[in-house]
């Protein structure tokens, strides 16, 4: 039974990180109505950025945050201005192709630049583990979960307690009405991409100490992020959090109970089940 509890703990910790990635996806989707198929590629690139800062400049991931996160905020902003802005009113098929092309572009840029090999960080300040009750709390996972929680809290405060945050929510709920209030929706769209990708940057930095990266990790993380979004309901901060936690638990607990090699399979099955059973917002053209 102990190993199930341990799996549950890990599931919660990882789930918070999945939720953070899902939050970025959900924010982008809510505000700009674009489903970002390339979302997980940003995670992959964020992990590479952290890795290279560690490998070449010997910067510990913990100190990489002030470098990576603002850079990725900018990355998201630029993605909006260069590509996304042009497909906002295009037919859905064109939007799918655009983000799909972006996925390919980013993934294979990494492939060409960094090669196919798996890269991992070791010896970071966030290594090791501590006992917690009868269980083991892995420090890097704990730190990642904590960072995710802090980011969730920060974003919640931003969205609900600041003028700009409320303007962002307004744009997400009805961008026409937002314009009648004087909100510059163009800026809001760009901001949502900046925040969405910035959040992915946070997740990437904190995943690096215990998760290896390669150009191919995008597929699994994309589905993990989407599973979290559809499960938790998109559009709310709490939804992404809850969805992420559920997916983390499904992955780890079912994996521990049934078979670890099938961890992701359970997640994907849940994903499809949710799509079929709870299609609010997911059905129709």
Euclidean distance between CA atoms 150 and 21, whole angstroms: 14
Q: Does 280 bind other proteins (CB under 8 A)?
A: no
Q: Does 77 bind other proteins (CB under 8 A)?
A: no
Q: Which is nearer to other proteins, 107 or 141 (CB)?
A: 107
3-state secondary structure of 95: helix
| Selected binder of other proteins within 6, 50, 95, 208 (CB under 8 A) | 95
β-strand pairing of 129-132 with 135-138: antiparallel
- Binding to other proteins by CB under 8 A, coded x per residue (else -) over 99-138, reads -xxxxxxxxxx-xxx-xx----------------------
Q: What's the min distance (Å) between Cβ of 228 and other proteins? A: 13
Write the burial class of residue 253 (CB in 10 Å: 0-12 exposed, 13-18 middle, 19+ buried).
buried
| Selected binder of other proteins within 91, 120, 128, 154 (CB under 8 A) | 91
Q: How far is CA 252 from the centre of its chain?
A: 18
User: Do 162 and 154 touch, CB atoms closer than 8 A?
Assistant: no
DSSP state of 83: I
Q: For residue 146, what are the contacts with CB-CB under 8 A and spacing of at least 6?
A: none
| Selected binder of other proteins within 123, 131, 182, 280 (CB under 8 A) | 182
Q: Which residues bind other proteins (CB under 8 A)?
A: 35, 37, 83, 86-87, 90-98, 100-109, 111-113, 115-116, 163, 166-167, 169-170, 173-174, 176-185, 219-220, 222-223, 226, 230, 235, 259, 261-262, 264-265, 268-269, 271-272, 275-276, 279, 282-285
């Amino acid at each position: 039974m102990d190993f199930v509890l341990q799996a549950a703990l890990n599931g919660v910790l990882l789930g918070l990180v999945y939720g953070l990635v899902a939050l970025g996806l959900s924010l982008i989707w809510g505000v700009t109505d674009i489903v970002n198929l390339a979302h997980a590629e940003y995670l992959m690139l964020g992990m590479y950025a952290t890795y290279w800062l560690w490998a070449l400049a010997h910067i510990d991931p913990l100190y990489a945050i002030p470098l990576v996160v603002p850079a990725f905020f900018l990355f998201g902003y630029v993605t909006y201005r260069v590509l996304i802005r042009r497909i906002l009113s295009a037919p859905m098929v064109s939007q799918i192709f655009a983000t799909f092309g972006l996925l390919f572009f980013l993934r294979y840029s990494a492939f060409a630049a960094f090669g196919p090999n798996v890269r991992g960080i070791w010896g970071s300040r966030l290594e090791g583990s501590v006992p917690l009750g009868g269980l083991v709390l892995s420090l890097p996972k704990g730190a990642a979960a904590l960072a995710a929680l802090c980011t969730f809290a920060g974003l919640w405060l931003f969205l609900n307690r600041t003028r700009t945050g409320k303007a962002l929510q307004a744009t997400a709920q009805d961008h026409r009405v937002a314009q009648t209030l004087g909100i510059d929706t163009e800026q809001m769209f760009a901001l949502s991409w900046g925040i969405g990708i910035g959040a992915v940057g946070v997740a990437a930095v904190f995943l690096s100490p215990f998760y290896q990266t390669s150009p191919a990790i995008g597929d699994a993380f994309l589905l993990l992020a989407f599973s979290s979004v559809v499960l938790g309901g998109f559009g709310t901060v709490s939804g992404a959090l809850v969805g992420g936690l559920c997916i983390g638990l499904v992955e780890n607990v079912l994996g521990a109970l049934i078979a670890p090699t099938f961890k992701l399979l359970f997640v994907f099955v849940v994903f499809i089940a949710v799509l079929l059973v709870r299609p609010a917002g997911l059905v129709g053209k």
